[in-house]
Amino acid sequence: MKIGITCYPTYGGSGVVATELGIELAARGHEIHFITYAEPFRLTGREANIRYHEVPVTNYPLFQFPPYDLALATRMAEVAEFYQLDLLHVHYAIPHSVCALLARQMLAARGIRLPFITTLHGTDITLVGQDHSFLPITKFGIEQSDGITSISQYLKEETERAFSITRHIEVIRNFVNCDVYMRRPEVYERD
């Protein structure tokens, strides 16, 4: 498959999980396209089947804050069309699911189908998403997703409770590649 992944590329959990997932999928032969404002810190640049597409954000005097969300939706649509992506996988409901929805709608107007999956991670649901100014759009982005996953049973239940989500949410717990990250007993031995 050709999969676009959008995440926060920083040291937080969503960036780590999304990047590690992309690396594992690429190792299994899938073509992975990271679409974000900076290259995810976990990428070395030497992984096969992985491309990074920066989201250009332009500062205009008119805007107090650069419109990253709109630039991201545009870049998602461009990458999806040019590379004929099969799927977008976005990590974090806000703003990524809404951006994926805009990209899907932009492409649908040209007869291109682009499904997207939203993975919920934590503060996007328990903190930011429940803020009164974001709650309706967070709920909308989740409900418009073609698939919804959560990193824990607790987060699934909290999403259902806080947003009255009735659609199925698949729990896929955070994972660790035990071939790469392994316990080193010598580090933990005490004298």
Q: How confident is the model at residue 51 (pLDDT cuts 50, 70, 90)?
A: very high
Tens digit of each residue's pLDDT (9 = 90 or more) over 57-77: 888 888 888 899 999 999 999
> Nearest-CA neighbor of 37 among 48, 25, 53?
53
Given its phi and psi angles, is residue 167 left (phi above 0), alpha (psi -120 to 50 degrees) or beta? beta
Token pair of 118, please? Answer: 């939203």
Q: Which strands, in side-by-side order, build the sheet including 31-36?
A: 50-54, 31-36, 2-6, 87-91, 116-120, 147-150, 170-171
Number of separate domains in the chain = 1
pLDDT value at residue 125: 82
Compute the mean pLDDT over every residue in the chain, rounded to the nearest whole number.
90
Work out the number of other CB atoms within 10 angstroms of the CB of residue 68. 14
pLDDT value at residue 187: 64
pLDDT value at residue 189: 62
Mean pLDDT of 41-52: 88
Decide if 29 contacts 2 (C-beta within 8 A).
Answer: no
Residue 181 has pLDDT above 80, yes or no: no
Phi, psi of 77, rounded to the nearest 5 degrees:
-65, -45
The CATH number given to whatever domain includes residue 169 is 3.40.50.2000
DSSP 36-49: ESS--TT--S--TT
Residue 85 has pLDDT above 60, yes or no: yes
Decide if 149 contacts 119 (C-beta within 8 A).
Answer: yes
Tens digit of each residue's pLDDT (9 = 90 or more) over 100-115: 999 999 999 999 999 9
SS3 149: strand
Residue 1 has pLDDT above 90, yes or no: yes
User: Which residues have a Cβ under 8 Å from the Cβ of 70 and sit 6 or more positions away?
Assistant: 102
The model's pTM: 0.89
Residue 129 has pLDDT above 70, yes or no: no
- Whole domain around residue 68: which residue ranges? 2-188
Q: How confident is the model at residue 132 (pLDDT cuts 50, 70, 90)?
A: confident
pLDDT value at residue 10: 85
Percent share of the chain, pLDDT over 90: 65
Distance of CA 96 to the CA centre of its chain: 6
